[in-house]
Chains A and B, each alone.
Chain A
């Protein structure tokens, strides 16, 4: 859940998309390209964190990557449970990855947190010659389903930061009532933002 405290928001963001759509390249481009003073970022292989300063708040994204292979599809709910935001990534040169993205959107609408901010990202926008999914098609799909849509390129960095800024702006500023059901994981925000600890 997104959690507030002195306008510091912690937001779990989950990345969904077909294998090879460029989920991690997109995030790496974002995480490496940001510099916020006194804020640490995490660059792991599959978990990332990065802080963004938007107008009225500081948003710390905790970014959870998920495995895109079909055989792991049924495991996804463990990852998007409790997420404040999701980026669903597809590859504009691959029609199948767009179909897969639609499945993710449907699943999140049915199963996910109803307040989740969802973004649809058409990645590899630099590969115009190989385009298979038109921008209009994706745009109208996004509109029908209440997501916001951008075409991104992890290679040229086009629109990469914008996706994250847009999510940061759309996150609810008031913490939603804690979900009484569900798993213990992530229900409780980190008690203190200064998490440096001698024991962990």
Chain B
């Protein structure tokens, strides 16, 4: 309808999606619309089951392709036009079924969480040489760009657009490798170089819900489209994920003890924000001073890590513990049992409770702020060359498309 002209996005996919919606709103396609709607409704009759859901959707796409080919509205249409209609259909159906089809098993969420946690631990110490990535391929700007493309994967609901994020990430790496082989005396080493860089970029990006996104693309991207180069890049990310999941000291060029130590430190640091923040009596002033000390101490780790943030929190944690040992606990009820308490303690307990919650909230906010500002600065640096790649829709048009109906 009017949304087609109002669209600010000029990407071909977006145009074809509005074209698809327009044709579906044509009274002549009422039969197609009925099939689509009844298919979507039929999904609510069954309990979610990824395997059979994927098969039903793929079968539906195939039967709809035949219907569209034979339909008067597409009479004499080229293969490309039919393909555009099918892309529109995939996007429409999967946007409507998204909440039902994406990460629908409790296992998916657990696996996503485990992978994200493992990656965030690896982030604290992993360096390119641990994967034997040649120096000439250590291009911070290319990597940031590739990370940024991969990081967009959760911003889309259509399988095609999610796959496009993977493709764009891999194309950045592809170009990096080709440029290196042209400009220097580095012979193109193909997958020997490609996979380690992709693994490193994936760890740096820690793309949200990696497992669920891969599963969703595999089940719901039209099978005729998950072939050839797209299938190759997709398989590479699947294998990068698998490598990360199984990763242990022997998977890397790193000393085993050093690996275990780093993982322990990272585990501790990752837990700080949600476990026992150990506030001090000094309040805001003390917190500020200790953050300063923590950051300073973290600088000693700088040559070991590009994520000083994790270390500064870890050090903050250790320092706060030491502070408590030296000055005595500011929270006298820590060792108390419920039966020891009297009504007279309530006022003091409540005051301490509020104090703890305040400090904890401030800490969490500060942590999130630090983490997100780090992320943003990374994105900003990487944004320079993104125009070279086909981009899925902007968020504005996406919101409109999510709500689109036929």
Contact = CB atoms under 8 A, between A and B. Distances in A.
Contacts of B191: 15, 23-24, 46, 65-68
A7 interface: no
Interface in A53-72: 62, 64-69, 71-72
B219 to A, nearest CB: 8
Given A46-B195, A67-B195, A67-B196, 11 more contacts: A20-B192, A24-B190, A24-B192, A46-B177, A46-B193, A64-B232, A75-B195, A78-B235, A79-B235, A184-B58, A188-B224
Interface string A22-53: 01110110000000000000101111010000
B232 A197 contact: no
Interface of B: 12-13, 16, 54, 58, 79-81, 83-84, 87, 132, 160, 173-174, 177-178, 181, 187-196, 218-219, 223-236, 238-239, 242-243, 246, 250-252
Contacts of A79: 235, 239
A188 B188 contact: no
Interface centre among A25, A46, A197 (most CB of B within 10 A): A46
Contacts of A197: 79-80, 83-84
A67 B251 CA distance: 14
B69 to A, nearest CB: 11
A199 interface: yes
A130 interface: no
A128 interface: no
List 10 tightest A-B contacts by C-beta distance, closest first: A24-B190, A45-B177, A65-B191, A67-B195, A65-B190, A46-B194, A75-B239, A46-B191, A47-B232, A199-B87
Given A72-B195, A75-B242, A184-B218, A45 B190 contact: yes
29 contacts: A15-B190, A23-B190, A23-B191, A23-B192, A24-B192, A28-B188, A44-B174, A45-B181, A46-B190, A46-B232, A47-B233, A68-B191, A71-B243, A71-B252, A74-B246, A75-B195, A78-B238, A184-B223, A185-B226, A185-B227, A185-B234, A186-B231, A187-B223, A197-B80, A198-B83, A199-B83, A199-B84, A200-B160, A200-B225
Interface centre among A15, A45, A78, A194 (most CB of B within 10 A): A45
Contacts of A200: 83, 87, 160, 225, 230
Contacts of A65: 190-191, 194
A38 B252 CA distance: 45
Contacts of A23: 190-192
Nearest to A43: B178
A190 B228 contact: yes
Contacts of A187: 223
Nearest to B251: A71
B79 A190 contact: no
- Chain B at the A interface: SS class: helix
Interface of A: 15, 19-20, 23-25, 27-28, 42, 44-47, 49, 62, 64-69, 71-72, 74-75, 78-79, 183-192, 194-200
Contacts of B84: 197-199
Nearest to B81: A198
Nearest to A195: B228
A186 B80 contact: no
Contacts of A42: 229
A186 B227 contact: yes
B227 A24 contact: no
A75 B160 CA distance: 25
A197 B90 CA distance: 15
A191 B190 CA distance: 28
A191 B61 CA distance: 13
Nearest to B246: A74
Nearest to A192: B79
A42 B227 CA distance: 14
Nearest to A74: B246
